[in-house]
Structure 1
Amino acid sequence: MTIHVPPVSLAERVRSVRSPGGIEAWLFEDHALPILSASIGFRGGAALDPPGKAGTALLMARLLTEGAGLLDSEGFGRALADDAIRLSFGLERDGLRARLRTQSSTVDRAFALLRLAVNEPHFAPAPLARVRAAATAGVRQSLADAGRTAHLAFFARGFAGHAYASPAAGDLASLEAIDGADVVALHRRMLTRTGLLVAVVGAIGPEALAGLLDKAFADLPEGEAAATPPVALAGLGEREVVRLDVPNAAIVLGRPGIRLDDPDFTASQVVNHCFGGGTFTARLMREVREKRGLCYAIGSGLDAAAAACTLRISTSVANARVGETLAVVADEVARLASDGIGPDELEAAKSAMIGAYGLNFDTSVSIAELLLTLQVQGRGRDWLDARNRRIAAITTEDAARAIGRLFGDGAMLTTIAGDPPAGADA
């Protein structure tokens, strides 16, 4: 089977733009439609929450469009709506992302509002109270969510003592402890020129974009790099059960993964696709769902965070079948380690991964998000072309080496949220 990698260069469509003020961005210029999409990132994210005040970054992100400059919360929202500008901020574990979408005719106004949001947010008491109340309600509602509970327990044990152990959304106690000064201080620390990354897609040229970059970001403080200390997943071989009165138990299992900058990372992606990342074609779906009917869905993924990469498996099963499910997963890990991945399965996985890559280029929004993600990961623009070539080049020997590094002795950290029978989780 020959895998076809399209010869068209995507990297050639992306250019680096540097403004007179020294702000850099990646630009994918496209004048097919009179619209512009931008994805803006600031390094740091929830990992910068102060000790005991998890959720600070989340509140800050939600407050950035709740009044800025001369506009109060209602006025800022009306200014966006009047020109059909879409601006939102989303929190991630290692960063903050802004997503901006506007028509070419309103691009100046859109970047002016973006400038206000990142440079002059109010963080006023009333919006802070409202946003805190909404976050608290969300946490209360999630207390009976088995999936979220299992994941929180996994991170708390696996990364104990590290910033990754704290919930990005906070908890009831931490949200109550956050005050306006905490939000202001975190904003000052995170939203800096040093931590800024920008990707723009649409109907704009380099010169016009350069002016807009200075308009939005030139007044940001220089700041310092927000580095999260590296950490490795702990607790391998341990199982923890959080008792919840729910009909189905959520299960999360994991091991340390292979980091993004490691030569074996691409091979580990292909291995993961075969094992649990390829939906219905994956071994876990076939063995756990299709053959035994133990669950509706099960999957695995490589969580390549800034400070750690983790291979994580998750599913939800009837409480009475937790033990059986864990046994099947363990058997599949052992079979993968002993038998490896054959040529046909490997080629099918590579073909699927290469074919699916084109879905990242269906809209200006998705292209902007991909370009920003590559910057966050430390990839160059050449990765747009190199990615598929590297996948196509993976051999059975590469896969075998990645399997050994990913699964080792098979020991995993396992967290379960539910009410399995005594001994079923042992």
Structure 2
Amino acid sequence: MTIHVPPPATTFSERVQRVRSPGGLEAWLVEDHTLPILSVQFGFRGGPVLDPPDRAGAARMLADLLTEGAGPLEGGAFRRALGDQAIRLSFSIWSDTLRGELKTLSRNAERAFELLGFALRAPLLAPDDVARIRGAVASEVRAALSQPDKVAGRAFAARGFEGHPYARPANGDLASLERIERVDLVALHARMVSRGNLRVAVVGAIGPEALGAALDRAFAELPPEAVAPTPATVLGGLGDRVVTRLELPQSTIRFGRPGIPRTDPDFAAAMVVNQCLGGGDLSSRLFRAVREQRGLCYSVRSMLQLADGASTLVGTTATRNDRAAEALGVIQDEIHRLSREGLAAEEIDRAKGYLLGSHKLRLDTSPAIAALMLQLQLDGREPDWLDTRNRCIAAVSPADGRRAAERLLGDGGLLVAVAGDPEGL
């Protein structure tokens, strides 16, 4: 069966306007006056990779502190100013970025962008707030010490990316958090929150001229410098088994190997291969072999994790301690078989259908569309990527799948991190 993707009446790229402000700032805009609402997504390159080596968690603390008072408004007054006009503003960290989300009624856009500008240009970073946020993040870190998925994930990254910023926990650890002082946060803010690092995406009821003025209100006074790209790296430790003993009835297993970069010609085929191996539906090879045929787990899945410095195939499952070795053996056998034999045409068609349909379902809200546009900019892609993506996936052939499977899965070697009390590992 051949999957054809008919051209839409209006392509995604035709809906995107590139807006340039009087001050030279650029944003991607999808103008939509259906509702009087604006959804704004923005990101600054850097994030946790810019944490000082002995102060992991600094970017996370900075993200939490940006809404704790800024400009002329102390913390309580700043939050009240947001609440008085139903403005939602939040910040979060990703592997290579500090990201923000602003949502407001169109009539309040001027005030919303003014408050956003305060948060970005002049966060107070008051000592009492720094201490309080440090304590809150430390509480999360303590709780994570007994959460097997978090424990396995941290061990996986620490071994797989040893010597690279990706090896450090984004939230830090108890020792690194104690070292973070206000001066460290001020320095990190100055380095990261700049026009050179900025990308912006907007969906909603605003025109290009009004958006240009709003962009300058929020971002024009930021410094111009940009940080260097994240250093490239590749997941290491293939063949290693890192076990962290926890007194739990189950073991959580994280496994992985190097992936195929998003810029590689075989990336679309790699997406199809991963979908067949352990993607999000119930027909994947790992789901059938590990759960349906043997009852070893409740769920098992794999995914391509994409960061600026690395692409990684990562999978995860949880199973009884006495069956952990068996479950891992089945996973490895399926990876070897897929790498050696490739995929049947029926499997490829089913995976392509899922990838094409599920992606459209993810774009059902203005924030989701804005988030996609932001990610495209951070990835260095053009607005027409969403249109070409679907055509590339639809064009994947069995020969493409076989080639991508050989490249993605190779000899089947895996880095494995386990949290629990597994027998035989």
Smaller-chain TM-score bracket: over 0.9
C-alpha distance in 1 between matches for 2:375 and 2:147: 29
Which residue does the alignment assign to 2:114?
A: 112
1:186-265 → structure 2 map (5 Å cutoff)? 186-265=188-267
Q: Is 1:17–1:210's contact at 8 Å kept on the other side of the alignment?
A: yes
AA aligned to 1:266 is A
1:32-71 → structure 2 map (5 Å cutoff)? 32-71=34-73
C-alpha distance in 2 between matches for 1:166 and 1:61: 17
- Aligned partner of residue 28 in structure 2, secondary structure: strand
C-alpha distance in 1 between matches for 2:64 and 2:158: 25
C-alpha distance in 2 between matches for 1:259 and 1:335: 23
Which residue does the alignment assign to 1:371?
A: 373
C-alpha distance in 1 between matches for 2:142 and 2:358: 38
C-alpha distance in 1 between matches for 2:270 and 2:219: 38
Which residue does the alignment assign to 1:22?
A: 24
Cα deviation code 1:198-238 (max 9, x no counterpart): 00000011111111111110000011233211111111111
C-alpha distance in 2 between matches for 1:83 and 1:371: 26
C-alpha distance in 2 between matches for 1:417 and 1:323: 13
Which residue does the alignment assign to 2:312?
A: 310
Could you list the runs of 5+ residues in structure 2 that have no partner in the other structure?
A: none
AA aligned to 1:245 is E
CA RMSD, Structure 1 to Structure 2 (Å): 0.9
Q: Is 1:257–1:311's contact at 8 Å kept on the other side of the alignment?
A: yes
2:158 aligned with 1:156, yes or no?
Answer: yes
C-alpha distance in 2 between matches for 1:226 and 1:372: 19
Q: Is 2:287–2:301's contact at 8 Å kept on the other side of the alignment?
A: yes
Which residue does the alignment assign to 2:332?
A: 330
AA aligned to 2:76 is E
Cα deviation code 1:28-52 (max 9, x no counterpart): 0001110000000000010110011
TM-score, reference length from structure 2: 0.98
Q: Is 1:258–1:265's contact at 8 Å kept on the other side of the alignment?
A: yes
C-alpha distance in 1 between matches for 2:346 and 2:211: 47
- Aligned partner of residue 69 in structure 2, secondary structure: coil
Deviation at 1:58, TM superposition (A): 0.2
C-alpha distance in 1 between matches for 2:357 and 2:422: 40
Q: What percentage of aligned pairs have identical amino acids?
A: 54
C-alpha distance in 1 between matches for 2:228 and 2:197: 7
Residue 150 to residue 400, structure 1, CA distance change in 2 (3 Å): same
Residue 66 to residue 226, structure 1, CA distance change in 2 (3 Å): farther
- Aligned partner of residue 361 in structure 1, secondary structure: coil
Q: Is 1:190–1:226's contact at 8 Å kept on the other side of the alignment?
A: no
Deviation at 1:297, TM superposition (A): 0.9
Could you list the runs of 5+ residues in structure 1 that have no partner in the other structure?
A: none
- Aligned partner of residue 39 in structure 2, secondary structure: strand
Deviation at 1:6, TM superposition (A): 4.0
- Aligned partner of residue 306 in structure 1, secondary structure: coil
- Aligned partner of residue 194 in structure 1, secondary structure: helix
C-alpha distance in 1 between matches for 2:250 and 2:232: 34
TM-score, reference length from structure 1: 0.98
* Match for residue 173 of structure 1 among 161, 172, 175: 175
C-alpha distance in 2 between matches for 1:368 and 1:207: 19
Q: How many residues align?
A: 423
Which residue does the alignment assign to 2:5?
A: 5
